[in-house]
Amino acid sequence: MRTKRLAAIFTALLTCASLIVTGCGGKQSASSGESDGGVYKDKIAIGCTTWIGYAPLHLAVEKGFFKDEGLDVEMRVIESAGDIKSAMKAGQIKGMAQTIDTEVMAQSSGINLTEVQPLCNSNGGDGIVAKKAYNSLADLKGKTIALNTTGGASLFWFNTLLEQQGMTMQDFDVKNMSAGDAGSAFVGGQVDAAVTWEPWLSKANKTDFGKTLVTSKQSPGVIVDALCFDKDFAAKNPKTVQAIIKGWHKAVQYAKEHPDEAYPIMAESQHMTVDEFKAQLGNIQYYDEAMTKDYLVGGKMAEMAQKASDLWIKMQLMTEPVKGTDIVDASFFKAALGL
């Protein structure tokens, strides 16, 4: 549930305003700050939406894990993926946290990125809700299904499931709407099914006609958020990127070992109560060192990036293909952990 909150929206407006002040003329140099032996000395802004998958990054800032590495890192909340891309192009942020498929699309649009660390895996937070009469995707053939067809995690995951079943979107009467609106439309009885996320999965289950047909828990590694940086910035400041990766893993480990101290900080970053935050944690998995080795170093992340590129090209949502092994780089993680 990548929920928009008033405070976050206000932050996004401030960010957009700063872009206007900077000017539409173009990108600031990725090396505009002092770099000493691959360590960036100025403030490093990382853009992200409001999403619990990014909470350890906020925790790392608040607990000083990045500062311990000699870095000045700021998490900048920008609720629109388009605005995050604009901020990257303008040099207002050096990195961003988004789903892998979204970052692939950004790369295709001309932003040169390198993905260095998977952050979180959707573990049931995304799903397909349907009327109780339907028990499979095949049962929904010819029925109305609501989902966002403009790109993003829901569309990527849904098409991944369809490919496994030998089906395509042409098998359904698709209604284009955001994931939140899709869930609302289903609960309101306007469509037969919807591709959405929490809390709409739970809300659908509470109706007398709906249920959750399938969730992302059955397809791990497909809906994954990742940390990426401007490729030139990462190349010129490798120790900085390595230090940020270390900070992420320190935060993930700290949250495991000290939840009573970590959860209030993480919850506040998402404008949630601690109870609300805890209730959502079961829907995701944070990438610790072991999971990162398997997914990133093991090549699965590059494979998923390649699948995203292939799908977006096929659906004509991108014109320039992206090679998975070009955008995903495990070397920073391996250097950070001494692998």
Closest to 226 measured CA to CA, from 325, 338, 121: 121
Read off the pLDDT of residues 131-146 as tens digits, 9 standing for 90 and up.
Answer: 999 999 999 999 999 9
Read off the pLDDT of residues 143-188 as tens digits, 9 standing for 90 and up.
Answer: 999 999 999 999 999 999 999 999 999 999 999 999 999 999 999 9
Closest to 292 measured CA to CA, from 219, 235, 221: 221
Residue 268: pLDDT over 90: yes
The vertex-101 CA angle with 211 and 332, nearest 5°, equals 125
Percent of the residues in the chain that have a pLDDT greater than 90, as a whole number: 86
Q: In Å, what is the CA distance from 277 to each residue of 9, 57, 136, 281?
A: 19, 15, 31, 6
What's the whole-number average pLDDT of the chain?
90
SS3 content of the chain, % helix, strand, coil (to 5): 50, 20, 30
How confident is the model at residue 80, as a pLDDT?
87
Considering the entire predicted model, what is its pTM? 0.87
User: What's the rounded mean pLDDT across residues 85-102?
Assistant: 95
How confident is the model at residue 38, as a pLDDT?
75
How confident is the model at residue 82, as a pLDDT?
86
Q: In Å, what is the CA distance from 125 to each residue of 179, 237, 252, 267?
A: 12, 35, 19, 17
Q: Name the band, by pLDDT with cuts 50, 70 and 90, for residue 127.
A: very high
Residue 73: pLDDT over 60: yes
Residue 109: pLDDT over 60: yes
Closest to 328 measured CA to CA, from 320, 339, 308, 311: 308
Q: In Å, what is the CA distance from 22 to each residue of 79, 113, 116, 276?
A: 20, 22, 28, 38
Closest to 211 measured CA to CA, from 129, 291, 148: 129
Q: In Å, what is the CA distance from 240 to each residue of 72, 184, 293?
A: 10, 43, 20
